[in-house]
């Protein structure tokens, strides 16, 4: 599986003004730094929780359908992104290397906050292309406005921005660990890894 970001979030869950207020910054001298820290904090917490906070469009590329999908009727494919808003399109490449878009009537892909699935009404066609023969475009995230991101995750972003702002260049003993307060806020949203 190869994930490709098609369109990132249009806004961040935390605004520059919110972060500056949290940091008690009155000048615009560090606006670029604070804006970069917001993006980094969001991406770090998205990786930690295995969730996307703001609406984003992704493409999942597969070489072939998983074996379990080929052996079952009806076939079901787990989508490893959450929360899933919708499946925009599923394409399978034929022998002429042309993308064939599957009719949306041939599968069900309801929005799901956690364990997203695509259930096929009919068995999907086998791709003829050996590499990246299947493309699934998905829309993920809690929603387009910043306020759709759960408040604890927004607070975790602010706390992580503050931590990085105050500890520039300092390396803690274990740089891979989130600060305790940040981890406490984000942990309830953490998804288990899919196998």
Q: Which own/partner contact pairs does 176-180 have at CB distance under 8 Å and 24+ positions apart?
A: 178/44, 178/48
Beta bridge partners of 60: 3, 136
Which two structure tokens, joined as six digits, stand for 171?
A: 């390396």
**pLDDT (tens digit per residue) in 45-104:** 999 999 999 999 999 999 998 866 656 666 889 999 999 999 999 999 999 999 999 999
Split into its structural domains, the chain has a count of 2
In a domain, 154, yes or no: yes
In the predicted model, is pLDDT for residue 195 greater than 80?
no
Cα 176 from Cα 181, distance rounded (Å): 15
Q: Which residue range forms the structural domain that includes residue 46?
A: 14-51+149-167+174-186
Q: Do 96 and 156 have their domain in common?
A: no
Residues 154 and 136 in one domain: no
Instruction: Give the pLDDT of residue 72.
Output: 61
Q: What is this structure's pTM?
A: 0.86
pLDDT higher than threshold 90 for residue 147: yes
27: in domain: yes
Asked whether residue 192 is assigned to any structural domain, the reply reads no
Q: What is the pLDDT of residue 39?
A: 97
CB burial string 171-188: b at 16+ within 10 A, e below = eeeeeeebeeebbebbee
Higher pLDDT, 192 or 154: 154
């Amino acid at each position: 599986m190869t994930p490709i970001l098609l369109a990132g979030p249009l806004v961040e869950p935390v605004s520059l003004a919110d972060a500056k207020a949290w940091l008690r910054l009155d000048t615009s001298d560090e606006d670029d730094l604070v804006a970069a820290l917001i993006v980094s904090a969001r991406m770090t917490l998205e990786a930690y929780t295995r969730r996307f906070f703001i609406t984003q469009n992704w493409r999942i590329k597969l070489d072939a359908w998983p074996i379990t999908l080929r052996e079952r009727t009806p076939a079901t494919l787990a989508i490893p992104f959450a929360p899933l808003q919708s499946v925009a399109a599923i394409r399978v490449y034929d022998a002429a290397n042309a993308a064939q878009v599957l009719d949306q009537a041939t599968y069900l892909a309801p929005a799901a906050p956690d364990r997203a699935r695509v259930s096929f009404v009919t068995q999907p066609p086998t791709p003829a292309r050996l590499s990246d023969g299947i493309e699934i475009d998905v829309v993920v995230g809690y929603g387009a406005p910043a306020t759709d991101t759960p408040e604890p995750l927004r607070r975790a972003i602010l706390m992580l921005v503050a931590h990085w702002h105050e500890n520039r260049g300092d390396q803690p003993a274990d740089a891979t660990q989130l600060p305790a307060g940040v981890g406490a806020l984000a942990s309830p949203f953490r998804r288990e890894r899919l196998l």
